[in-house]
Each structure stands twice: as structure tokens, then as C-alpha cells.
A = this chain, B = another copy of it.
Amino acid sequence: MKRNIAVLQGDGIGKEVTRGAVEILEAVAQRYGHDFEFQYGEIGGGAIDSTGSPLPDETVEICKNSDAVLLGAVGGPKWDNQPAHLRPERGLLKIRKDLNLYANIRPISYYSSLSESSPLKKEFIEDVDFVIVRELTGGLYFGKPSERVEKEGKEAVVDTLFYQKSEMKRIIELAFSLASERKKKVTSVDKANVLESSRMWRETAEEIAKDYPDVILEHMLVDNAAMQLIKNPKQFDIIVTENMFGDILSDEASVLTGSLGMLPSASISTNGPNLYEPIHGSAPDIAGKNLANPIGTILSAASMLRLSFGLEDEAKAVEQAVETVLEYGLRTGDIANGQPTITSTSEMIAEIKANL
């Protein structure tokens, strides 16, 4: 199989971790007889420095011409005081819109070998296995107006939470179709006791549920969801929610199992290439020190193999190799939890490759 992969390394540890994923993808190609070509594009702070834009047109072109996009991470203190339109994160928001990445999928899974690193007691997180499906191109993130206004002569400001019903439909449908292949339960999170948009969301979920008689639909208010994630995360299978609630809840969920550095994500496009990236940020404090955990990005590459290329065996092989090195006890600093020997980024990559 021949595939073009766009690689956007970004800032901070982005370079190190994407390098790891590319090495693993190359090893997979060799082993299974595929031909993966990699095209590199700039995004984030580095792109601002070299082109004046956090997402140059050239990068968008490279992505549109690819079969899938691999992203590292963006941002760093150097760009923290820039005006809003020259911030690295703008590159992320823009690529989501430009590639129509309407759904962000984040599996939260428990690694028994890592329970020590979790803030939660083992009995609360053991066997946790759920997926957050976050709407990614609507809501407060893109609604207009978003501006300063004067009201009765006083300074004020407005942001807008806007959704088309069709945008709700497609993401909720995706959630149901994922649930029907898993534990058959969708928890739709909203704030229907306050927001009109949430009431439309809830109705839409009810409508779609009719097409999936074997999947249970449950509604949960966002404040309660923020509690339930901590009190009883095992209850969840698929959580689906709008953009801002999803931003907050998926970050909350990512620290439950103590394995933030290991969590992958996939952003699904309506019509073009999907984008795969780890959940963690650019970690400027450890950038370039060979300390970053490459597993989140390597598992994102595994998702790419599965979801974009349909290469289930290859995806499983990568995931299995990761499990194996963890069982050996290899740990980068973020998951070492006091263990004396720490594995470097490059060793971790080499070991995963060796265990493919």
C-alpha cells in the first residue's frame, strides 16, 4: 500500500515525538511491505518565526494532498505574549477548519503497569476504558460575534455559541457508530437546563438514538459529568459533547489514569485526511533533552494505520510493541513515578521498534 503522510512537527518536544512515530511507521512499512512517503510542513511558533503565520498556506496544501496528517504539538513561552492572531494555537484552530476536522476522538485507557502514576486510587481506575468524542469545529470556538461591544455606554464583550443542527447530527452519529462496535452506551453531555443549544443537542441525540436500537443513550449535565469522571469513570463507554465542554472534560479525563504522555487522539475529517496527534502539549521545559515520552505520538500513528489506512494488523502490532516495552518496565520520566532508571526518548523508540 502506498500512502502520503503529512508530518507537522510543531514546537517543543513536537520534533522528538513525531520523529519517533515516523521511525515506527517506517519500520511498519518495511516489515509489511508498504510504501509510506512523508512530507513535512510547518505549524505553530516555528511557522510564525519563519513565515509570519502559525499555519502557512503551504502547510495546508501539503495536508490536503496527503492521506493522513501526523501532528506533534505547538506553542511555547516565546510566543505567549504575541497578539491573538500570531499565537501558535491559532494554527491548530485554523487547521481544524481548513481540513474540516469535525470530530476529535480520545480514548482513555488504563495501563495496569502505570496505576502508580495515577492520582486516583486503583479501584477507581482499574479497567477504565472509554472514548471522548468532542465536536471540533463549532460552538464558542468559531461563533460570531466574538468582540468588544458597548452597551448603554459601558464596556462589554460578547462571544457566540453557534451550532447548525447538521453539525450536531454528524458528530452524534459518529459517537453512536463507535458505541455500536464497543460497549453500546453513549453518554451525551450537555447543559440542557441552561442552554438552548444543549436542548437542540439533546433532541438531536434522541433522534439519532432511534437508528441504533442496540445502543443505550444517556444524557448527563456537564457539571455532573465533571464529577462522574472522577467518582466513577468505569461507567463510561462513549462520551459525546460539544466543543468547549469537550475541551474541558477530555483534559480532565486525560489525567485520571496517570498516563497523559501515552494518550493518542484522532481528529476525523468530513471529506479529507484525518489528523493524528498526542494529547500532551509541547512541554518546552524538556524540549530537545531526549526526555519526552514518544508513546502518545506512536499510538496516534497506530490509530492512523487503523482508521485512515484500514491496516488493523499493523496497528495492533504497534500497540502490542508498546505494551511489551511497558511490561519490561521501560519508563520515560513522566511515567517513572520514582523508579530510578529512566528511559530516554530515543531508547524508548528503539525498543518499541525492536519489539514490533
Task: Give residues in A with beta carbon < 8 Å to B.
Answer: 84, 87, 89, 93, 118-121, 124, 140-141, 143, 146-148, 151, 154-166, 191, 193-197, 199-200, 222-224, 226-227, 229-231, 244-245, 247-252, 254-256, 260
Q: Are A161 and B162 in contact (CB under 8 A)?
A: no
Q: Are B154 and A164 in contact (CB under 8 A)?
A: yes
Docked complex Cα distance between A158 and B200 (Å): 10
State whether A223 and B248 are in contact (beta carbons under 8 Å apart), knowing that A155-B164, A231-B255 are contacts in the complex.
yes
Q: Are A140 and B161 in contact (CB under 8 A)?
A: yes
Contacts of A256 in B (CB 8 A): 230
- Count of chain copies: 2
Contacts of A118 in B (CB 8 A): 121
Q: Are B163 and A157 in contact (CB under 8 A)?
A: yes
State whether A251 and B224 are in contact (beta carbons under 8 Å apart), knowing that A93-B194, A158-B161 are contacts in the complex.
yes
Docked complex Cα distance between A163 and B195 (Å): 16
Q: Of the candidates B124, B140, B226, B230, which one forms a contact with A194 in the assembled complex, judged by CB atoms under 8 Å apart?
A: B140
Q: Are B191 and A244 in contact (CB under 8 A)?
A: yes
Contacts of A247 in B (CB 8 A): 191, 222-223
11 cross-chain CB contacts under 8 A: A87-B193, A141-B194, A148-B196, A157-B196, A158-B162, A159-B195, A160-B160, A226-B226, A227-B255, A230-B255, A252-B252
Q: Are A226 and B251 in contact (CB under 8 A)?
A: yes
Residue of B with least CB distance to A92: B193
Contacts of A197 in B (CB 8 A): 157-159
Residue of B with least CB distance to A229: B252
Contacts of A157 in B (CB 8 A): 162-163, 165, 196-197, 200
* Nearest CB on B from A116, distance (A): 10
Contacts of A260 in B (CB 8 A): 227
Contacts of A87 in B (CB 8 A): 193
